[in-house]
Structure 1
Amino acid sequence: MENLQELVAEITHVLQDKPVTKELQNFLNDEFPPESDVFQQIQALCKRGMEEGWLGKYEAEGLRYGRVIKPSPQTHGHSVDVVLMKDMKGPYHIHPTGEIDMVFPLDETAAFDGQGLGWKVYSAGSGHYPTVRGGEAIVLYLLPNGEIEFTKPK
């Protein structure tokens, strides 16, 4: 788990002064593309963690999930949640301070909210039903201040 925190910190260090907007998604895909060492190492750790059971310890309605790192100075105020989904729609939630996602498809055609391998960013105040189509995917959520609110859509 320490190694995951160190790798995530390489990314969150760069995020410190950046607003969580759609432009951040482009920035992350340029700075930490799927073929980068950091992205690939995090992807491999998440796959291994799901296989070995130290990630995704909780399960509900076919969704494996869990917060693995709380917000801290080491992660520059970001929490880390990791979720495994297969062809499903998860519970609606809003992102008071935004949501930054790393998408790791386990099936070639799998996509999280339309995004295949790579980054997906939701701005502060946005909300959605997280959805995976086309197979199975792991999604790593970076949440500024660990903020997420499960609620009903307005």
Structure 2
Amino acid sequence: MNINQFEKLIAVVTSYLSEDTLNRSMAKQLNTQFPAEGEHFLKIKQACQQAISEGWMCQHEAGGIRYGRVIKPGQKTHNFSVDVVMMKDLKGPHHCHPLGEINMIMPITPGARFDGHSAGWWVYPPGSSHHPTVTEGEALVLYLLPQGSIEFSR
């Protein structure tokens, strides 16, 4: 797996999205179109795990969180950036999503949850904020951010 192959996997998802429709109903649409037990979702999860083992994803660590921006917003990903984090039973730093945030939740530990949600998709609308939190084990979370927009609180 290389970054170009990964970007193509992500582009399948981002081509389905539109920045102006980031709302909670989009989570239902994503869970229908790309279900957690579906082929494309599992390909992305496997690609993330392989990229982490190869050292080009989640290459940074702070406070027990492995993370990294994998893809900057651009034409190939329909102006979404891609960040991936790995967390285990941890509350992360508070941040705001000026343009919204799409989360692909990939439990590593069976039953692990991200912000109370199990495997699948969750969408935060524009202007929302939270402390990203993984409970009941370890999970990978892939974030799609319109225009790469995120603001961390101090």
Structure 1 equivalent of residue 92 of structure 2: 90
| CA displacement at 1:50 relative to structure 2 | 1.9
Structure 2 equivalent of residue 81 of structure 1: 83
Structure 1 equivalent of residue 22 of structure 2: 20
CA distance in 2, matches of 1:136, 1:116: 11
- Is there any run of 5+ residues in structure 1 with no aligned partner, and where? none
Structure 2 equivalent of residue 43 of structure 1: 45
CA distance in 1, matches of 2:111, 2:15: 31
CA distance in 1, matches of 2:20, 2:113: 26
Give the SS at the match of 2:15: helix
Which of residues 3, 6, 11 is equivalent to 2:5? 3
Deviations 1:32-89 (CA, angstroms, capped at 9, x unpaired): 1112221111010111122232111110010000000000010000000000000000
Count of residues in Structure 1 that have an aligned counterpart in Structure 2:
152
CA distance in 1, matches of 2:19, 2:130: 25
CA distance in 1, matches of 2:38, 2:137: 24
CA distance in 2, matches of 1:129, 1:19: 23
Amino acid at match of 1:29: N
Q: TM-score, normalised by structure 2?
A: 0.95
CA distance in 2, matches of 1:23, 1:38: 20
Structure 1 equivalent of residue 67 of structure 2: 65
- Are 2:96 and 1:102 equivalent residues in the alignment? no
- Are 2:148 and 1:146 equivalent residues in the alignment? yes
Give the SS at the match of 2:58: coil
- Is there any run of 5+ residues in structure 2 with no aligned partner, and where? none
| CA displacement at 1:109 relative to structure 2 | 1.9
CA distance in 2, matches of 1:141, 1:83: 8
Deviations 1:79-127 (CA, angstroms, capped at 9, x unpaired): 0000000000000000000000101100012100011110011000000
Structure 2 equivalent of residue 53 of structure 1: 55
Which of residues 35, 39, 44 is equivalent to 1:33? 35
CA distance in 2, matches of 1:17, 1:80: 14
Percent identical across equivalent pairs?
A: 49
Q: Residues 18 and 24 of structure 1 are in contact (CA less than 8 Å); yes or no, is this contact kept in structure 2?
A: no
Q: Residues 19 and 146 of structure 2 are in contact (CA less than 8 Å); yes or no, is this contact kept in structure 1?
A: no
Closer, same or farther in 2 for the Cα pair 1:50/1:124, shift >3 Å?
Answer: same
